[in-house]
A and B are shown apart, each in its own frame.
Chain A
């Protein structure tokens, strides 16, 4: 998708006023997407961003690509129809935790199952922002909101676990404020052939401020985040702690160093493991019991749905000798009346 003139971040900024609340994490995500697209040389005219409903779903209006702001939860359906019919286009989906995991849960899992060549950015702020602060399917149990004044009683979804269970071929997690890392994840998703989903921890400073601050604060992030890097040992806290799998395959936190756990006992991350069970195990790690992993959980190859459908169509076309209206109409038992 190279373009002849080198594009800059501002070339992806539309003339529309961005209407998110001041301080919203969405601003950073928008900026990182624009920057990454510029660096990748993404062709604006061949890119389509499709969103559902919610704060994050206003995203397409602020980009200079083609875009569609659709209806609640259904963005993957429009994107699937577009991608299958126009496989050469670069199709992205922008969605939120309520949009993709509540009202649109069905479409999300089926996109993963099919491995449609879509890139999905899931802004997870663990709250319904646009409707003024109700708890979402990723909100922690006991969340007190206008709709749950006594505290929510349901267990939250972990988006990474959900999509891994549905057969996702590329799964990553990043953080709105971690600009370099987020850009890297956007670029990795772009490069993947198949459905690529990036969960982005995003702060809603109005209705759920500080939802991720326990792991994102500068002074603690080293200790509380596990940076997944393919082929590298899973170390955190400046290399002093690591993840080791016990004899049951259960990950445990160990102290690493002389007189403690030797480095070669620390598990090396492999995002290409065929079984999703490995990535799912990593997805169960979370603060405070463990460091919360960010980075690419899983990146495997599987034929894409759009390729498979179009290959079938091409094969059917090749096998059809006469392709015209007369052959279409004159099928079956045809007789002449005089």
Chain B
């Protein structure tokens, strides 16, 4: 646990064991991909949020829906850090590991902190599962767990006993065991159980009321087991975090994106039209938006990724806000149509929820390797605006910004998130109406002196005309157009002018950007430049080093195209520049090309986010030079 523990000696009814207060805890639930670990983790997260902790989560699961039971590659994990202070990451190393089988123990134990706690389901440690996990000896018996605090619990057996009269079959009973584990952790960490009871009931009551009842029973049994079985030496308390007053809800990145898109369209006074095709990890944006049809949102699932972006562009042509989302492979298929949107100069929002690549890559793992694809992955001079969200809740703000810029500048905007943000969660302070500004879209209706490509002087945006507007019928297309009339033009000078105009229009977005926020001084030894979901790890690393007096600062780029106009000057104030990215060096190349600076890359492509320690080490190495 993150800080030294101090037994308070405080006693509560029903237990003689002390409650220990700590600043933060990192817990990881791990089991078979069919063991319900994601649900278990999500319930624990909700309870921690309601308890007032700040938190951050990291789901980590295999691409196979139900990988063969007991195998090393079938292990599904969910990690959450909850704390009495601001949390930036799900934590480098778990303090507590809940391992539902030998494979889960084997794959996760190396991550655990020294002398960390392990709760194991002893029933799963049979010869069959040990072989599958490639254990020669039972790790519970051969002394290999010495140094850890091991809590062996027959979770399977206790669950069975609890449900012996339930009427459920053996398979259904076995599938309740994750709630026993959840109950134990609730006791261990003093989580309020009411929200979980309510949530379990809501999840199962409609479809299978008998399962709701069973899961609640097992959950309570696990909780009481923690209380009475005397295997845990203490219960741990993490106090409420000091967070800004207001209303909060827990939010995952893809939900924040979806809600942000609906919000953005509302602020723009436009109907939202979303077309999508299923792809991991972007599909939940379609799912979530489909729940908001009652807000006037149209969502359709179409035959492929190309049809999705095509339908979105068609809707934008008609005066709606066209939106589509996908992940790298799907975005590759959309590239040609995105180029058309550049040429048509219509608003379009494309969300790329990045995953490991190339090709099918690592569908369920996170990566930041599509930056070049989004900046340059189209034929011709084809600039689009690109921004990236930094935390799950930030997806909300970024989605609104994407809508605003797309409409104001009549341009496709790419919003980049990734699997880590999409499935990760954090408390989101729900805005007030005063926190958002309307930016209603305007449509040209005046037929006098109408030219489809006549531009606004400030934004270089062309007029948006809804088909159906009398006297304004016009034709647009992917062939090069005359810079004023929009008629097909093969004129050499005109083509150069149009290419430059499309470039300059996206550059003009710079005038929308608020001053760069820098964590630290604007001069120093090392400037860390990040983008996207590495925000938490970099912030934590930089804050840690700054506390020791290191002259390191951090700037996190929201806009990747255009780059912030203040970035060049900022970089001049530092001796070294470090660019951590979950790729093999993409932003760093852009920075080197744009500013001719000797920026140093820090790269990781393991399907996992940076550990704070990795970034700290890289900064320290630069400081020493």
Contact = CB atoms under 8 A, between A and B. Distances in A.
**Co-assembled chains A and B:** yes
Interface of A: 14, 16, 44-46, 48, 50, 53, 60-61, 63-71, 74, 76-86, 88-89, 106-107, 110, 309-310, 312-313, 316-317, 319-320, 323, 325-326, 328-338
22 contacts: A45-B472, A71-B337, A71-B478, A77-B309, A77-B310, A77-B311, A80-B314, A81-B313, A82-B467, A88-B468, A106-B304, A110-B302, A309-B300, A312-B293, A313-B296, A320-B295, A325-B436, A328-B295, A329-B259, A334-B430, A335-B50, A335-B248
A65 to B, nearest CB: 6
Contacts of B433: 325-326
Contact of B294 (A60, A82, A107, A323): A323
B276 to A, nearest CB: 12
Interface string B486-500: 011000000000000
Contacts, number: 201
Nearest to B475: A67
Nearest to A59: B475
Given A313-B293, A323-B296, A337-B248, A68 B275 contact: no
A86 B298 CA distance: 11
B207 to A, nearest CB: 19
Residue among A68, A82, A85, A332 facing the most chain B CB atoms (10 A cut-off): A85
A336 B246 CA distance: 6
Contact of B244 (A71, A329, A337): A337
A334 B313 CA distance: 36
B68 interface: no
B310 A86 contact: no
A78 B313 contact: yes
B249 A81 contact: no
A93 to B, nearest CB: 11
Interface string B307-328: 1111111111111101000000
Interface in B446-500: 466-479, 487-488
Interface size class of B (residues with CB under 8 A): 35 or more
B302 A69 contact: no
Nearest to B298: A313
B330 interface: no
B46 A333 contact: yes
Interface string B263-280: 100100001010100000
Nearest to B310: A77
Contacts of A329: 249, 259, 263, 430-431
A323 B295 contact: yes
Contacts of B297: 313
Given A66-B474, A323-B294, A81 B250 contact: no
A60 B476 CA distance: 9
B401 interface: no
Contacts of A89: 318, 467-468
B294 A319 contact: yes
A313 B308 CA distance: 19
Given A71-B336, A326-B433, A110 B303 contact: yes
A68 B475 contact: yes
A85 B263 contact: no
Nearest to A103: B306
Interface string B589-622: 0000000000000000000000000000000000
Given A77-B311, A81-B318, A335-B248, A316 B243 contact: no
B317 A68 contact: yes
Contacts of B262: 328
A337 B273 contact: no
Nearest to A51: B477
Contacts of B298: 84-85, 309-310, 313
Contacts of A46: 467-468
A331 B436 CA distance: 18
A333 B50 contact: yes
Contacts of A64: 473
Contact of A338 (B245, B296, B337): B245
B199 interface: yes
Given A81-B322, A333-B199, A45 B468 contact: yes
B344 A68 contact: yes
B475 A14 contact: yes
A249 B436 CA distance: 68
Contacts of B266: 325
B376 interface: no
A68 B477 contact: yes
Contacts of A319: 294
A331 to B, nearest CB: 7
Contacts of B139: none
Given A69-B476, A110-B303, A328-B292, A16 B315 contact: no
Given A89-B468, A110-B302, A330-B247, A70 B473 contact: no
B340 interface: yes
A61 B46 CA distance: 57
A124 B266 CA distance: 44
A338 B242 CA distance: 9
Given A74-B307, A323-B295, A333-B46, A66 B473 contact: yes
Contacts of B300: 84, 309
B49 interface: yes
B102 to A, nearest CB: 35
A333 B49 contact: yes
B62 interface: no
A336 B271 CA distance: 32
Given A309-B298, A335-B249, 11 more contacts: A45-B473, A69-B479, A70-B477, A74-B306, A74-B310, A77-B308, A80-B310, A84-B298, A84-B315, A329-B249, A335-B49
Given A67-B475, A69-B475, A335-B49, A328 B311 contact: no
Contacts of B478: 53, 69-71
> Which 10 pairs between the two chains have the least Cβ-Cβ distance?
A77-B310, A69-B477, A81-B314, A320-B294, A81-B311, A78-B314, A316-B293, A67-B475, A82-B314, A66-B467
B34 interface: no
A50 B436 CA distance: 37
